[in-house]
């Protein structure tokens, strides 16, 4: 079997983390991984405006980065969650992707610097993101945004969090969301028993062992793994969720659970499109300069534009 072109050289740095099982990731390790992730994305694109601010969240102040496109607005809004296994990632590691969507979709992108494991276990990250989504809906007018055109999206762990915030918004009566972009998402942390986990357990970028390690950092207990906000695939009811685009890679350990989630959405009456890029591995961080990833980014942009135009 031909192995996919793998851009996640950042994984070489993550191996260091298996040396210790400390409760806090050494800052130097987190910094190295985040810098490498940002570098992998390619050259930054210019946008009309970038603003960093913090909002008073449920437990701490949450840093946000707001990207605004050219034009007069009001603009639709995409709340974006970076990847990194709930342990790594920050505003810089997803900067280029946020700039890409700002320019190619013509929307405001709000990147959320949510709390990270292992210091902050589940559900800290999702509570931060839900609060930021509420803030975006309530303050859209102040940033030249349109609260009636609010979407969420993310890659890898960010895709997991995007799916979870849709469930949380449904359970908590808002805010109203028009779309969810789920790229290479983790949707079931309760088990790693799928064909894709067996076939691509090692040697294809993201390994099964590494997912186990991330899961251990993120979850307080096995019971947490069965919580729908950690494992959206296990939710009893997926009706009345926003339309979705689910993207997976053919060589990704997360492939099958991403596909299963898209199928469940369809079964419960949600307009969900599923795309598998057969020769791609796991892309926790989009590589905007890659032709292969460019196809996925363009599909995502087109889906967002369509959702925002309705």
Instruction: Establish whether 306 is a catalytic residue.
Output: no
Annotated catalytic residue, options 93, 94, 111, 156: 156
Instruction: Give me the residue label for tokens 């589940």.
Output: 122
Annotated catalytic residue, options 186, 196, 285, 301: 285
Q: Cα angle vertex 276, ends 272, 280, to 5°?
A: 145
How many Å apart are CA 249 and CA 20, to the nearest integer? 30
Angle of helix 157-171 relative to helix 124-139, nearest 10 degrees? 60
Instruction: Establish whether 156 is a catalytic residue.
Output: yes
Does residue 190 contact residue 223 with C-beta atoms inside 8 Å? no
Q: Find, among 238, 237, 291, 285, the residue nearest to 84 by Cα.
A: 285
SS3 245: strand
Count Cβ neighbours within 10 Å for each residue of 61-75 and write b for 16 or more, e otherwise. ebbbbbbbbeeebbb
CA dihedral 139, 142, 147, 150 (to 10 degrees): -80
CA 282 remoteness from chain centre: 13
Q: Find, among 117, 81, 88, the residue nearest to 11 by Cα.
A: 88
User: How many CB atoms are located within 10 Å of the residue 120 CB?
Assistant: 17
Residue 280's contacts (CB-CB under 8 Å, 6 or more residues apart) are 4, 5, 249, 250, 251, 252, 292, 293, 296
Instruction: Establish whether 282 is a catalytic residue.
Output: no
How many Å apart are CA 51 and CA 125, to the nearest integer? 22
Annotated catalytic residue, options 95, 113, 128, 252: 252
Residues annotated as part of the active site: 156, 252, 285
């Amino acid at each position: 079997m031909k192995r996919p072109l793998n851009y996640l050289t950042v994984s070489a740095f993550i191996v260091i983390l298996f040396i210790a099982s400390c409760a806090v990731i050494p800052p130097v390790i987190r910094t190295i991984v985040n810098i490498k992730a940002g570098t992998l994305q390619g050259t930054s694109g210019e946008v009309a405006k970038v603003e960093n601010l913090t909002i008073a969240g449920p437990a701490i102040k949450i840093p946000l980065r707001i990207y605004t496109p050219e034009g007069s607005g009001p603009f639709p809004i995409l709340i974006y969650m970076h990847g990194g296994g709930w342990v790594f990632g920050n505003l810089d590691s997803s900067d280029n992707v946020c700039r890409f969507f700002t320019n190619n979709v013509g929307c405001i992108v709000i990147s959320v610097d949510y709390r990270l494991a292992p210091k902050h276990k589940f559900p800290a990250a999702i509570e931060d993101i839900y609060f930021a989504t509420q803030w975006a809906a309530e303050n859209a007018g102040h940033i030249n945004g349109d609260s009636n055109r609010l979407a969420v999206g993310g890659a890898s762990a960010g895709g997991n969090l995007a799916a979870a915030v849709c469930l949380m918004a449904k359970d908590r009566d808002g805010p109203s969301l028009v779309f969810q972009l789920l790229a290479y998402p983790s949707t079931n942390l309760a088990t790693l028993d799928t064909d894709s986990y067996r076939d691509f357990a090692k040697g294809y970028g993201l390994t099964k062992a590494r997912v186990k390690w991330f899961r251990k950092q993120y979850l307080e207990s096995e019971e947490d793994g069965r919580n729908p906000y950690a494992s959206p695939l296990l939710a009893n009811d997926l009706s009345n969720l926003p339309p979705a685009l689910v993207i997976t890679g053919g060589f990704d350990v997360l492939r099958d659970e991403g596909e299963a989630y898209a199928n469940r959405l369809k079964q419960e009456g949600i307009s969900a499109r599923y795309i598998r890029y057969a020769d791609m591995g796991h892309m926790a961080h989009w590589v905007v300069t890659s032709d292969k990833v460019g196809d996925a980014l363009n599909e995502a942009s087109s889906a967002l534009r369509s959702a925002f135009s309705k």
